Amino acid sequence: MKTIKLLTGYFLLATLMVSCYAEVIIEDDFIEESAFNTDQVLQSYDLWYVDINATRGNGEVPFLQRAFTVSFDRGVLLANNNIVGIGKTGGGYGIDVGTYGTLSGTVDIDHDVDGSWYLEVYAVNNNTIELYDAGSDTSYYLKGYQINNFDYDTVFYDNINYFIQEYDAWEKIYTSEAGALNDFDNENYLQFLPNFFRSSIDAPNTSYANLQWDFEGDYQVYDIPGDNSLKTLTLDYDFMGDDYFELYVINDSTIELYHPDSGTTYEFRGRGYQEYLKSSKGSESKKRIKASNPTMNVERKKAK
């Protein structure tokens, strides 16, 4: 499956804008570069966005599967593992997740949780690299950005399904006076897990440990063509039908659900933030998968 990519002196000149040229040795279509130049390639961009949908192979490099971005900073590996706080945590770079060293065309990573990984580095084009794990025959493709040109908002909204999973629970903190009575008025807590949701009618300010989950079912987040800031959410209750909402993000810990059928607006605040890598629960459980939100051709019902 592996296709050799060429890490050329031209790539280094184009991306690093250095004046020196590194001599290369060509053998069987493989171009060998020095450890110094490999490190300069990795540091040529502030952030490398992990395009999880482009991954090839059936294996897994856990810390790349978990990360939205990684950065190589003078021997320190940084990562944005959470959507909550992305663009703010670590000045946009994320958190320190390990260390790395370079050899000719390879990077040796010592990850704080996932241990040692020896990955081959290949150039795909002038802003994309491939990190290849020979042990699992798996390739990850990373696209480079400078931090002031990286669109954190797009990453946030494209991955909003992970955002709502990054809290242990969402507590209802507001219900609008406008709107018809409906069954969802009684539900005060929501929890979003990778494959299903749960809800509770427990009273406000109930501790998370004491919550009793009364309902559960499937949920789906949808993209709306032409309206990047609007998402819709369906809650498909087991044995009880479903609910449909327009989903808005107020800030990193507060969401708004507008219920078009009743005209009611609800606000929920996240409780129990899971910082992946710092939390043993989060570091083991959260993995990105190849996926994209389905689209729903609807018009926004809630007035801006």
| Residues of the chain below pLDDT 50 | 1, 3-32, 279-284
Q: What is the dihedral of CA 19, 23, 27, 29, to 10 degrees?
A: 10
Nearest to 67 by CA among 103, 102, 93, 100: 93
Instruction: Provide the pLDDT for residue 302.
Output: 87
Instruction: Provide the pLDDT for residue 294.
Output: 86
**Domain extents in the chain:** 9-151, 160-285
Tokens encoding 108:
């040796």
Are 188 and 205 a contacting pair, CB within 8 Å? no
On the question of a common fold for 9-151 and 160-285, the answer reads yes
* Coil vs helix vs strand at 102: strand
Helix (H) or strand (E) holding 157: helix 152-158
DSSP letter, residue 147: G
* 46-56 pLDDT per residue, tens: 999 999 999 99
Nearest to 188 by CA among 163, 208, 165: 208
Instruction: Provide the pLDDT for residue 285.
Output: 52
How far apart, in Å, are the Cα atoms of 192 and each of 131, 132, 166, 211?
A: 32, 33, 8, 14
Tokens encoding 216:
């559960």
Instruction: Provide the pLDDT for residue 271.
Output: 97
Instruction: Provide the pLDDT for residue 158.
Output: 87
Task: Look up the CATH number of domain 160-285.
Answer: 2.40.128.280
* Coil vs helix vs strand at 144: strand
Instruction: Provide the pLDDT for residue 77.
Output: 98
Sign of the Cα torsion 95, 97, 100, 105 reads negative
Q: Give, in words, the CATH class of 9-151.
A: mainly beta
